[in-house]
Amino acid sequence: MATAEASGSRAPGRDFADAFLPEDNALRVARELAAEAEVTPISPSTGATLALLAAATSARAVVEVGTGTGVSALWLLRGMRPDGALTTIDTDAENQRIARRLFAEAGHAPSRTRLITGLALDVLPRLADGAYDLLFLDGDPADHAACVAAAPRLLRPGGVLALNGALAGGRAADPANQDRDVVVVRELVRSFRDDDGWQPALLPVGDGLLCAVVV
């Protein structure tokens, strides 16, 4: 069974959904610089969903893995409380420098963002217990399972985890696809269904966004 994304076409309504909330100049520049830096930013509809999750949780403290050039961070900041702070982790200091400049150009005070350069699995253990409203994972897919394992310690009760790439470019929907990376993401997503500690939903926005509330 070929999926829309696997066959190169776009699911009906995808462009319409991506255009639903316009992106501002900082987001447009962040996308252009992501293309130059060869990092893949989240889709606009994924961004709108992240802003919604941040607003719905009245997020004051958010952690992101995978800063890139700042597209997802700018969306998260849009939904967070004005006094909230985003901690964003990436191994690439140059891209974080770009993101920091764009946060300032978008009008966010320096106190609203904490950029940490390093490996997610080195940094997450240093972050405080139960201190975060929202954790967004968009780093190395090989680290996703370990980052998910760290999430219950980091999130407050009722906090939300969001994992990008949960449909593996649409390939996860094809049961015949047994590629190693696809199997890993499929099993990780399914593990949420079998865990009473999470209330999950798999949203078909962008590359797939697995959202789960700590219960």
Ligand X SMILES: C[S@@+](CC[C@H](N)C(=O)[O-])C[C@H]1O[C@@H](n2cnc3c(N)ncnc32)[C@H](O)[C@@H]1O
- How many beta carbons lie within 10 A of that of residue 79, not counting itself? 22
Q: Is 69 in the site for ligand X (CB under 6 A)?
A: yes
Piece of the chain touching ligand X by CB under 6 A; list 13-21, 36-44, 48-56, 105-113: 36-44
Report the candidate in 200, 210, 121 with the shortest Cα–Cα distance to residue 165. Answer: 210
Strand arrangement of the beta sheet that strand 61-65 belongs to: 113-117, 85-90, 61-65, 132-137, 155-164, 209-214, 198-203
Q: Is 95 in the site for ligand X (CB under 6 A)?
A: yes
Which residue among 40, 81, 156, 188 contacts ligand X (CB under 6 A)? 40
Q: CA quadruple 208, 164, 134, 81: dihedral positive or negative?
A: negative
Q: Is 90 in the site for ligand X (CB under 6 A)?
A: yes
Q: Is 26 in the site for ligand X (CB under 6 A)?
A: no
Count residues contacting ligand X (CB under 6 A)? 23
Retrieve residue 212's tokens.
Answer: 């789960």
Comparison of 68 and 204: residue with beta carbon closer to ligand X = 68
Residue ranges in contact with ligand X by CB under 6 A: 34, 39-42, 65-66, 68-72, 89-92, 95, 119-120, 138-140, 143
